[in-house]
Amino acid sequence: MYTVKPNRFSLMNTNWKLTVTFLAALGCIITTLARLHAQTPEAGWYRIYSDDKKASVLFPNKAETIKTTTDKTPAGKVSTQVSEHQSEGLLFTISESRLPGLAVTFAGKDTIYKNAAGNVVNRAYGKQISTEKTKIDGHDALILRYECADFDEANHAGYRGLAVFVMVDKNLYLVNSMLSKETAGNVAMQDKLLKSLRIGG
């Protein structure tokens, strides 16, 4: 009776292919995990990017709402995209506005910051508390603190707002946060949001 003997070299070749396939799969898993880690640097927090991917912040959850608007101004059209997260007692947004070149040239950065801060306060029917110039990743920035009354509840202390403006070339980035419940946890999240702002991708 003739018995077929296993080919030693064939078995070695098969084992080698299996090893290579396993290592390739392992590499893909490690790469995927690394990317996920980059998107969620801290447990439960997600890095949310502006439309052009050049500005980002950490949100305690994924953005629930993304809105795009276009406004006509004397200097030209302003296109804005806003990503928003809202949960009990807080509202976080990151937006990118693409400004007309004419506005950037003739108005200048300080005037644009002043107008943008006034716009945030007016839309909230609020009151400006203070502004502070700073730098974020080497770029001039403005921090706005404001407050607004709660028109629905007379006994409610109102809302506390904190916003940061950064302009790079013709793009104005805004990170805005409003607290309706000033719990220690919400204040800590607001502080973390603003400290997580990164410019440059």
* Cβ-based burial of 84 (10 A; exposed 0-12, middle 13-18, buried ≥19): middle
Dihedral angle sign, alpha carbons of residues 11, 14, 19, 22: negative
Q: How far is Cα 73 from Cα 92, in angstroms, rounded to an integer?
A: 26
Phi-psi region of 164 (alpha: psi -120 to 50; beta: other; left: phi over 0): beta
Q: Do 173 and 88 share a structural domain?
A: yes
Q: Do 94 and 34 share a structural domain?
A: no
Q: Do 179 and 126 share a structural domain?
A: yes
- Percent of the chain whose pLDDT exceeds 90: 42
Q: How confident is the model at residue 190 (pLDDT cuts 50, 70, 90)?
A: confident
Q: Do 151 and 106 share a structural domain?
A: yes
Residue with tokens 């200048």: 108
Q: Do 123 and 193 share a structural domain?
A: yes
Q: What is the CATH number of the domain that holds 190?
A: 3.40.1000.10
Q: What is the pLDDT of residue 12?
A: 45
Do the beta carbons of residue 111 and residue 104 sit within 8 Å? no
Q: Do 174 and 85 share a structural domain?
A: yes
Q: How far is Cα 23 from Cα 26, in angstroms, rounded to an integer?
A: 5
Of 18-32, 89-103, 109-123, 183-197, least confident by mean pLDDT is 18-32
Q: Do 32 and 83 share a structural domain?
A: no
* Average pLDDT estimate for 94-100: 93
Do the beta carbons of residue 121 and residue 144 sit within 8 Å? yes
Q: How far is Cα 88 from Cα 180, in angstroms, rounded to an integer?
A: 8
Q: Do 164 and 119 share a structural domain?
A: yes
Q: State residue 107 phi and psi, 5-degree precision.
A: -80, -45
Residue 28 has which token pair? 């893909």
Q: How many domains does the chain contain in total?
A: 2
Q: Do 70 and 24 share a structural domain?
A: no
Cα distances from 167 to residues 22, 46, 127, 138, 199, in angstroms, run 48, 23, 23, 11, 10
Q: Do 103 and 26 share a structural domain?
A: no
Q: Do 70 and 21 share a structural domain?
A: no
Q: How confident is the model at residue 199 (pLDDT cuts 50, 70, 90)?
A: very high
Q: How confident is the model at residue 153 (pLDDT cuts 50, 70, 90)?
A: low
Q: State residue 154 phi and psi, 5-degree precision.
A: -65, -30
> Does the predicted TM-score (pTM) go above 0.95?
no
Q: What is the pLDDT of residue 87?
A: 82
Tell me the residue range of the domain where 5 lies: 1-39
Q: How far is Cα 63 from Cα 187, in angstroms, rounded to an integer?
A: 19
Q: How far is Cα 128 from Cα 40, in angstroms, rounded to an integer?
A: 33
On the question of pLDDT at 27 being above 80, the answer is no
Q: Do 162 and 80 share a structural domain?
A: yes
Q: In what order do the strands lie in the sheet with 198-199?
A: 46-49, 55-59, 198-199
On the question of pLDDT at 17 being above 50, the answer is no
